[in-house]
Amino acid sequence: MSAARAGPLFDDAFRENLGDLLRWRRDVRRFRPDPLPPGTLERLVATASLAPSVGLCEPWRFVEVADAKRRVAVRASFERENRAALGQQAGERAALYAGLKLAGFDAAPVQFAVFAEPDPEQGHGLGRRTMVETAAYSAVMAVHTLWLAARADGIGLGWVSILDPAEIGQALDVPKHWTFIGYFCLGYPVASADTPELERAGWEHRRPAAERLIRR
């Protein structure tokens, strides 16, 4: 019987670099128009597919959006939903919302959507009997894995969620039962920061992590 393969050792320097990666991962809205190297999206999707998934079902579905008409349809959905969201704000919060840049459609060279297959045959249903939403959770894990890998390469990712899921599914001609996770802009960021743009704009700020830890 062969010996188990020893895993890699992660030293203090690696852990410090990992902390920097997490701190400097940002939701990017301002992109340079420079094209990404050929094969970048394919390589990042391959890395994303290392993410954990319930029952090893790998429910994520990445849909690259290169067609101009489809991009226009996605942007139109964003503009409608963004106007509706602005109408729900009042006073100073409305003015602040109106000044936020919430999408990077104009300059990002790569755009893609992520969906989850809610009941994939792969995985044989393991872990999803009482929590079917874990398929969507798994797709989000893949997104986050891609996000970190992109940032490690100096590439920014912007998550657009102010969209109508049904409209996006129709615009991208995907199976109706797929669960829409989000629409993403990918490219080189204009600038980097270690704090969220929403925090810098005064919309919200992070709270101490201890406030989110509950013990019973």
Structural domains in the chain?
28-190 (3.40.109.10)
pTM of structure: 0.94
201: Cβ–Cβ under 8 A, 6 or more apart, which residues? 96, 99, 100
Tens of pLDDT, residue by residue over 112-163, are 999 999 999 999 999 999 999 999 999 999 999 999 999 999 999 999 999 9
Nearest to 138 by CA among 158, 116, 123: 116
- Exposure pattern of 84-100 as b/e (b: 16+ CB <10 Å)? eeeeeeeeeeeeebeee
Q: For residue 1, what pLDDT is reported?
A: 52
Sign of the Cα pseudo-torsion (109, 113, 192, 107, in order): positive
Tens of pLDDT, residue by residue over 67-116, are 999 999 999 999 999 999 999 999 999 999 999 999 999 999 999 999 99
196: Cβ–Cβ under 8 A, 6 or more apart, which residues? 26, 27, 206
